[in-house]
Amino acid sequence: MGDFFKSTFGASSKEPLIGNEAPSREKTVKRVPASERMKRTLEAAAATVESKDPDSQIGTCLRATAPILTLVMQGLAIVGPLYVKVYKYCYDLYIAAPKLTLKIVFGLALCGFGGTFTASIAAIEAFRQMGGATVFESVSVVWGELMEVKKANDADDKVDADKDGIADVDQIPPHELATRKITVAMTAVKQPAKLQEATVALWAAYIAVLATLRLQFARTTAMAMGIIEVVEYPIIRVLAPPFTSLLGPKLQHWSETLLDSGIKLIAIIFAWYLQMIISAFYSALRGGRMVADGLCDLVVEQGWQEYVEKLPGVAAPFDPDTTYLDEAILYPVAALGFSYQLLVGFTLPFPLNLLLLPLTIVEWILRWQITFTGSADVAGAGR
């Protein structure tokens, strides 16, 4: 196997395989600063691309954007582990918490924030309908292999084969570093066929969910396009002359393009805002139903029927299927949730906005794909 990797990726001046040299325990291995390592990583990626295709502009683009990408990667390196720890803690709470309590809490969250995550909630529902257990199993496989690659990479970063006190990965040329890390990653993956199968399954599920969402939110895209068609020409006709004067003679040819892009962006945001109102109303009702059902089931589970039967309008013996108690809970909770979403403008309070930032990013990515990929297909169909 080692000969295969050497013949495929080329030999390095220092052996890349982790098992050949164990990091020294007596002596601490020095590493260059994280920013420098990230620059070297980008340089290695650029060198690898250029070695495969000398005419490619990707390498030049990577070098030009290296300072920005380095800052982004540094931020992710700091924030990423924090989110992983927080989400792991939340997952442990999810496993340990009583299911009825989780149902009530999730129902309240749906009442208060369902409109904020319109596309994400729809995507989760689509995933569930397409076989959530299978998707979760594929995620577990991919995540497990990624953790093995991370462990192998961390161990490789500590290797000091020549015992000079400096990590080997900080002393080899960029192209050899890329070869070394690819070899380390491929060696760490023990079940490549299973990883490939899980990755393909996840991609197929994502494409299917995206297609479902595009159909579900086709009205939103059509609404945005209809708004643009109605208001674009008169707005450009009125605003183009003063906007052109504002840009000046050198940039006046950009006036129509900038106005057109601005109008489309505003129309899309407005259309999605209307969709958020509709989704907030639906999610508030659904969340209220979950809270009501959860509370009624909790009454039965805890044996609190005798107390509930003393309430006005609740007949004895207490039966969740025949009483109006669940409706008496559902509609006030739904009304409060919907009103709260409108009151705060579908924004998240602190610290939930930070905790759910990854989900917020996913939400905007889904909206962008639903809107613009759907628009492209509509335009293509029209031609």
Q: Which amino acid is at 285?
A: L
Report d(CA 334, CA 280) in Å as an integer.
Answer: 10
Q: Nearest Cα to 170, choosing from 332, 8, 36? A: 36
d(CA 315, CA 352): 41
For 13-30, the pLDDT digits (tens) are 444 444 444 444 445 777
Residue 208 pLDDT > 70: yes
Q: Is 190 exposed, middle or buried (0-12, 13-18, 19+ CB in 10 A)?
A: exposed
Of the listed ranges 47-51, 82-86, 324-328, the least confidently predicted one is 47-51
Answer yes or no: are the C-beta atoms of 322 and 154 closer than 8 Å: no
Report CA-CA distances (Å) from 214 to 125, 209, 326, 330: 14, 9, 34, 30
Can you give the pLDDT at residue 335? 93
* 213 has a pLDDT exceeding 70: yes
- Closest C-alpha among 110, 119, 123, 125 to residue 276: 119
Give the chain's mean pLDDT.
Answer: 78
Measured CA to CA, the distance from residue 295 to residue 328 in angstroms comes to: 12
Residue type, 376: A
Tell me: pLDDT of 246 over 70.
Answer: yes
The pLDDT tens digits of the residues spanning 153-204 come to: 888 888 888 777 778 777 777 777 778 888 888 888 888 888 888 888 888 8
Q: 11 pLDDT band (50/70/90 cuts)?
A: very low
Percent of the chain residues topping a pLDDT of 90: 5
Pick the more confident residue, 11 or 87.
Answer: 87
Per-residue pLDDT, 20: 46
| pLDDT for residue 279 is more than 80 | yes
- Per domain, the residue ranges of the chain are 2-205, 218-347
Angstrom distance (rounded) from CA 300 to CA 303: 5
* 301-348 per-position pLDDT tens digit: 887 877 777 777 677 777 777 777 778 888 999 999 999 999 988 888
